[in-house]
Structure 1
Amino acid sequence: MAGIKKGRLVPILAGGVAAVAVAVGGGLWWIDKQKYEKTDNAFVAADKVTIAPLVDGYVAEVLVDDNQAVRPGQVLVRIDPATLKARLAQAEANAQALEAAVSAVDDKARLEQAMIAQKAAAVESAHAQASWADSELKRYGALAREGWVSPQRAQTARNAQEQAIAGVSQAKAALEAERRVAQSLGSAKDQSLAQAAAARAAAEQTRIDLSRTEIRAPVAGVVGARGVRVGQYVRPGGALMSLVPLADAYVVANFKETQVARLRIGQPVTIHADAFGDEAIKGRIESFAPATGAEFALIPVENAVGNFTKITQRLPVRIAIDPNQKLAGGLRPGLSLEVKVDVTRDTGPSFAESGGRPTRFARQGATQ
């Protein structure tokens, strides 16, 4: 009996240990489940910038290498500027010619003002001549009626008076013609000014295009996907390389829709990257996406069919990385991650309260 009891004791003890282990493990799992929400459907992302030229031409220099860190404003590529320099010289010469045309119109306008003054003086002179001829006609007419002078002399005075009146009309017409010429010069000046402004704008545009032959880094980052080479002919919009701002990398974690109810903006997040082994990185929830990942797919899922099967959807959650960590700058976009959110922290708005609107709470918390 003692041997049988001893033989039964080992399984009983083993079963007891197993039961205790299951109980302890289940308890730990339950505690962990209540405190954290986890997902391994997460990756590193960054707002990379595609570098493309704004002018066409042949590449004269490529001043960066693959995987090189660059600072904002640093020259990345130079395009041969010879053609644009020639265009700029031509545009500037054209602008100068049109500005000279404006000056010529001004000079002619001043000359016309002098001519108008001269014609106005001629009108005054014609009026004076007409007045004198009228007085002569009156005097000789009276003398002719009294028989002191011959009728021919009176007729001569009448002819002179008519010529003087015609001279007044002629002088007035000449004055009006000069005034009309002056008005036309005003219109010609406006046209010349518009043409000169267009020429200056064209020269400025060419000057801008010339400055764009030096392609500079818009942000700080690391060069990637460099496909440009010296001698290559490039066109506006063609991708030359990409800049990845590693310092501004963030995490996109896709949580199941059954998990997001307990998530809040600002909650602390522990991040594990396969590339870093067991070392953890700290972060905070920054915002919730406005739709599930399926809504942004190239081919949206059509659920209005008869064979519909409910599938748990995932919602992208953006997580800001605390910058004051030695591994923060080592994350590369595309790396796989496992994230764990401490949902016991009652911080910012919840998923339902935020409405998908990003706030400054998490960004401020990440810098503390």
Structure 2
Amino acid sequence: MFTRYALPALAVVSFSFAVVQMTKAQQKAPPVSPTVEPARAPYQTAVSGAGLVEPETENIRVGVNLPGVVKVVHVRVGQEVKPGEPLFELDDRQLLAEQAIRRATLASARASLQKLQEMPRAEELPPLRAKVAEARASLDDKVKQYARLQRAGGGVSDEELIGRQMAVEVGKAQVAKAEADLALTEAGAWQADKLVAAAAVAQAEAQLAQSATELMRLKVTAPWMSAPDGAAVTFRVLQVNVRPGEYVATAPGTAMVALGTVGRLHVRVDIDENDIPRFRAGIPGTASPRGNPRTTFPLRFVRVEPFVIPKRSLTGGNTERVDTRVLQVIYAIDSPNPGLYVGQQMDVSLNAATP
């Protein structure tokens, strides 16, 4: 009974299910609109490229001159700073101790030079003059004793006479030595010794100045830069990658603080090497923020960087090649408040129509 009625019913249900599934499979899926409408070029003939927003001065990546531990950070993200204002400082205790040693060395060198310059001391001359007088008196006594023996005639032995004669010669030498010591002291320091002492002072001063320079290098400040009209520019802190207590090194390419000028923004456009023949310096263009194609900004040509480089900024497109090279062109956004951020990606279209 079951096989007579249940199996045909099950076959009918299965057949109906298969028909429904086949019908659904043959139906076309409804068109899916993109989440974000892609940017459209407003020109009939356009050169398109990906752009990055950057300050007028480009991104200034401030590093350190010397390795060390961060002592204090003076700035925060979004703060405006002037050239020369401190950004952060490194620990300076070792250099301060070294500076104190070099300051003492300089004081010692200056004292030695002053001592040579003020020679002879007035107190040194009287004892030397007294020694000269003493030597002369001793010589006179020895000369008189020798003369007395010579007058005595044969009552004096040759040995005693020769001894008195030699004593006279010794007295003469002692007088000469005392007079030479007095003359040497009265002449003062030797000029060559003064020059050596002056060189030691100059060396100590240079070492002390070096310590002061190294201490200044521990205080990282905003770079000096002027606008075309000569006025000092104002920087905005874009990024702070350092904290108190961290050890920082002088590795190349490491940015502790990123700065950019406040004011006009630029767009760095990457033009694919295949589109370079269609590009002409000076052509206008428009840019739209990635994800907001309805907002466009007119672009004004600034300059071309005439060096084709490997492509670094990737947009994530399916047809994008990473083994290509690009020409970078700089455009300015003249809108006063564009509402853009540094580093934001832009879809750029340049008018490549033949004039």
Report the TM range for the smaller structure's normalisation.
Answer: 0.5 to 0.7
1:213 and 1:32 map into 2 onto residues whose CA distance is: 56
> Is it true that 1:326 corresponds to 2:336 in the alignment?
yes
User: How big is the shift at 1:272?
Assistant: 0.9
Per the alignment, do residues 312 and 256 of structure 1 end up closer, same or farther by CA in structure 2, a change over 3 Å counting? farther
Report the counterpart of residue 69 of structure 1 in structure 2. 80
Return the match for 1:253 from 269, 272, 289.
269
2-structure distance, mates of 1:169, 1:162: 11
- Report the Cα offset of residue 243 of structure 1: 1.6
Q: Is the 8 A contact 2:278 2:352 kept in 1?
A: no
Amino acid at match of 1:210: L
Alignment CA distance shift 1:162-1:319 (3 Å): same
In structure 2, C-alpha distance between the alignment counterparts of 1:82 and 1:215, rounded to whole Å: 16
- Assess, with a 3 A threshold, how the Cα gap between structure 1 residues 235 and 42 changes in structure 2: closer, same or farther: closer
Tell me the residue number matched to 1:102.
Answer: 113
Change (3 A) 1:256 1:60: closer
Match of 1:206 among 211, 236, 259: 211
Would you say the 8 A contact 1:274–1:337 is kept in 2? yes
| Cα distance in 1 between the residues matched to 2:204 and 2:193 | 16
User: Larger deviation: 155-164 or 285-294?
Assistant: 155-164
Distance in 2 (CA, whole Å) between partners of 1:85 and 1:210 is: 8
The answer to whether residue 67 in structure 2 is matched with residue 48 in structure 1 is no
CA separation in 2, counterparts of 1:241 and 1:311?
29
Alpha-carbon distance in structure 2 between the residues aligned to 1:343 and 1:169: 109
Give the CA RMSD over aligned residues. 5.1
Q: CA deviation at 1:283?
A: 1.6
* Counterpart Cα distance in 2 of 1:86 and 1:233: 22
One-letter identity of the residue aligned with 1:208: T
Shift of 1:215: 3.0
Give yes or no for contact 2:47–2:279 (8 Å, CA) kept in 1.
no
Q: Is the 8 A contact 1:42 1:337 kept in 2?
A: yes
Matched, 1:241 2:253: no
Q: 1:239 to 1:44 in 2, by over 3 A?
A: closer
Instruction: Give 3-state SS (helix, strand or coil) of 1:315's partner.
Output: strand
TM-score (norm 1): 0.56
Question: Do 2:51 and 2:348's aligned partners in 1 also have CA atoms closer than 8 Å?
Answer: yes
Structure 1 unaligned residues grouped into runs of 5+: 1-28, 298-309, 346-368
1:228 equivalent in structure 2: 242
1:280 to 272, 297, 311: 297
Structure 1 residues 98 and 313 mapped into 2: Cα distance closer, same or farther (>3 Å)?
A: same
The alpha carbon displacement at 1:242 in A equals 1.9
Identity %: 16
Once the two structures are TM-superposed, the CA of residue 192 in structure 1 deviates from its matched residue by 3.6
Q: Return the alpha-carbon distance in structure 2 between the equivalents of residues 179 and 342 of structure 1.
A: 95
Q: Report what 2:17 is aligned to.
A: none
Size of the alignment, in residue pairs? 285
Change (3 A) 1:164 1:287: farther
Q: State how far apart, in whole Å, the 2-side matches of 1:229 and 1:311 are.
A: 36
Question: Does the aligned pair in 2 maintain the 1:268–1:285 contact within 8 Å?
Answer: no
